[in-house]
Structure 1
Amino acid sequence: MSNTSSSVSEFILHCAIQSDQRSGIISALTIILLTSLFGNLLVISVIIANPHLHAPMYLYIFTLATIDLANSTVLIPKMLSVLLLDSSAVPYGACVLQMFIVFHMEALLLCFMAVDRYIAIVHPLRYHSLITNRTVCVGVLILNIFGIIVILPFLFFVGELSFCRTNILPFCFCDYATMVHISCSDNPKYLSLLSGAVFTIGVFSLGPILFSYSRVALAALKISDEGKRKVFSTCLTHLLVVGLFYVPLMLSYVLPGAGVKLSTEVYNVMVIVGNVLPPTMNPIIYSFRNKEINVCIHRIFTRKRTVLLVKKL
């Protein structure tokens, strides 16, 4: 690319992975992609096909599965094409779209879901009056509007960046902070706003999550031993997913904005773990452990098996 150029039509993903690790990473990403696609598509299909699942909790699960499906299909296939086919060029628009998906508001959705469980377990008699399909839909709408408002400044900032030195991104994905680092724009606003936004959203969403699950855990101490085990198991698994999502992503965004330089390998691992693992685990944690969804899935596969047996006869 010419040194005098200030705008680019595409970015080059330089997915620097050692040759002895490449096959293992390709296998892991393929398994994660297939698991995520199967799990999230199955959850979405089951909820759509069963009217009795059109209830607040399942609307949250449906929204989470939709976000996770978009996340997996935007990020992992491109990583695999870079690793398998050396298809490293990404059009400018597609790169910005990938960045937009990475900035999704799953953090706030996880917060809503934690509050939903808090009200259901700690205030069960008030749950149906406080949490309705209408309130969930309004909440998801507000979540998306807020997400767009938060993301818009960064989309404008990307348009302001000039790339006079290189258009090579030293990672397997498109990322806003990396675009700022390779650009010729030295204005600190580009990264300081990112750190501030991520920190603010992280605190205001993680706080209610921790509060909700701690109150749920305290409420569990007053019920039977079997109920305690079930509630504590649910809390721990939900917090595991929350931790896998929050910790690496918050650190990967906040630290560079605060002036801390991360190595390519560390940054790669942080963003991949935060964006790739939760979409794979969410269907297992939030959906397949749910009795109603399990029953519906069992009916689907037993019905198919019955149809196949009838056709053979």
Structure 2
Amino acid sequence: MVTANESCFHPHTFILLGIPGLEHLHVWISVPFFSMFLFAIIGNYTVLFIIFTDVSLHQPMYIYFTILALVDIILANSTVPKLLCIFWFHQNEIDFHTCLVQMFFVHTFSTIESGIFLAMAYDRYAAICNPLRYSVTVTPSVIIISGVFAVLRGVVYILPLPLLSERFHQYSSNVIVHSYCEHMAVVRLACADVSFNDHLGMAIGFLVLVMDSVLIALSYVMILRALLKLSVEARVKSFGTCISHVCAILSFYTPILSSSLVHRFGKNVPHHTHILLANSYLLVPPMMNPLVYGIRTKQIRERVAKFFLK
């Protein structure tokens, strides 16, 4: 392994440290990570199985659930298997180009998930604010187009990051002080000016985290205004359809926002806290989404109960 004290070189592999500073606890840390990963995979595959096998669930709302479950499966698989290899087998090496591929998948599918939540916010807005036109404005084709747009947006936003990172041929070290190939954790090792990458990453973060959350918040402001005009019974029933989406949004944006704030302003926060927060927004949403939608959505809850009772 080449150390940071030696001259610049082109690494064929990188070394991921896992959770730096907590190496002696890696085996114990792997237990909750593996548990969350297992729950995320089983939960999302269960949601997919229920929706695909039950014709009555082939409705617009459940198409969003399907897309979200697929995104969560890919997002969880993009980092956790390698992280468990680090924890259990000390397999810290990752190929240079594999690292860039992991960078692309992690950031792209996080961006896609944000786009799906934005589309689902519009779905809730249309269902509550314009219920008579819901079947016309939110059709399966509209949902598929919004899903394709979310995917294309994620690819367009994130693809420049690994492509720009590949142009750096000389690095001061091949040791990444992180558990996965996070964009800035990689490019900061380059023997070059990385300010453009830094600014581009911040711009993408602003477009995804800030703009999407603001638009989602605006949709719920309009939903609340519409709910205030309804009777108490109708208000409670209508808002009940939004609780699942609100919980899923909070489980996604809260870890990302916390990680971003700590990264930018928490200079005295231990580095392993940064890494744990960065991993939380890749594991918590995939674990929570099937739980939230499975419990809060009556049709899915009944199908799951019926399946296990059989």
User: Do they superpose with TM above 0.5?
Assistant: yes
Matching of residue 83 in structure 1 with residue 87 in structure 2: yes
Q: Does the Cα contact within 8 Å between 1:213 and 1:235 map onto a contact in 2? A: no
Matching of residue 284 in structure 1 with residue 284 in structure 2: no
Matching of residue 148 in structure 1 with residue 151 in structure 2: no
Unaligned 5+ runs, structure 1: 306-313
Report the 3-state secondary structure (helix = DSSP H, G, I; strand = E; otherwise coil) of the residue aligned with 1:186: coil
Partner of 2:11: 8
Which of 68, 74, 89 pairs up with 1:70? Answer: 74
Structure 1 CA distance, aligned partners of 2:34 and 2:194?
Answer: 39
Structure 1 CA distance, aligned partners of 2:120 and 2:222?
Answer: 14
Report the 3-state secondary structure (helix = DSSP H, G, I; strand = E; otherwise coil) of the residue aligned with 2:306: helix
Which of 199, 207, 219 pairs up with 1:192? Answer: 199
**Shift of residue 7, structure 1, vs aligned partner:** 2.4
Structure 1 CA distance, aligned partners of 2:170 and 2:116?
Answer: 35
Structure 1 CA distance, aligned partners of 2:80 and 2:172?
Answer: 28
1:57-206 matches, within 5 Å, as: 57-103=61-107, 104=109, 105-206=112-213
**Number of corresponding residues:** 302
Structure 1 CA distance, aligned partners of 2:147 and 2:83?
Answer: 30
**Shift of residue 20, structure 1, vs aligned partner:** 6.3
Structure 2 CA distance, aligned partners of 1:177 and 1:164?
Answer: 13
Which of 213, 222, 228 pairs up with 1:215? Answer: 222
Report the 3-state secondary structure (helix = DSSP H, G, I; strand = E; otherwise coil) of the residue aligned with 1:185: coil
Structure 1 CA distance, aligned partners of 2:251 and 2:189?
Answer: 28
RMSD: 2.5
Unaligned 5+ runs, structure 2: none
**Shift of residue 289, structure 1, vs aligned partner:** 1.7
Report the 3-state secondary structure (helix = DSSP H, G, I; strand = E; otherwise coil) of the residue aligned with 1:182: coil
Q: Does the Cα contact within 8 Å between 1:6 and 1:163 map onto a contact in 2? A: yes
Structure 2 CA distance, aligned partners of 1:268 and 1:224?
Answer: 47
Structure 2 CA distance, aligned partners of 1:19 and 1:204?
Answer: 37
1:12-27 matches, within 5 Å, as: 12-15=15-18, 16-18=20-22, 21-27=25-31
**Shift of residue 24, structure 1, vs aligned partner:** 3.9
Q: Taking structure 2 as the reference length, what is the TM-score of the superposition?
A: 0.87
Which of 282, 297, 303 pairs up with 1:296? Answer: 303
Partner of 1:45: 49
Change (3 A) 1:217 1:286: farther
Q: Taking structure 1 as the reference length, what is the TM-score of the superposition?
A: 0.86
Q: Does the Cα contact within 8 Å between 1:32 and 1:277 map onto a contact in 2? A: yes
Q: Does the Cα contact within 8 Å between 2:17 and 2:175 map onto a contact in 1? A: yes
**Shift of residue 59, structure 1, vs aligned partner:** 0.7
Deviations along 1:207-259, whole A, 9 cap, x unmatched? 22112223333433444555545555554553343234224435645886x79
**Shift of residue 120, structure 1, vs aligned partner:** 0.8
Structure 2 CA distance, aligned partners of 1:163 and 1:236?
Answer: 50
Q: What is the letter of the counterpart of residue 203 of structure 1?
A: V
Deviations along 1:17-45, whole A, 9 cap, x unmatched? 43664344211111101110110000111
Which is worse superposed, 217-226 or 122-131? Answer: 217-226
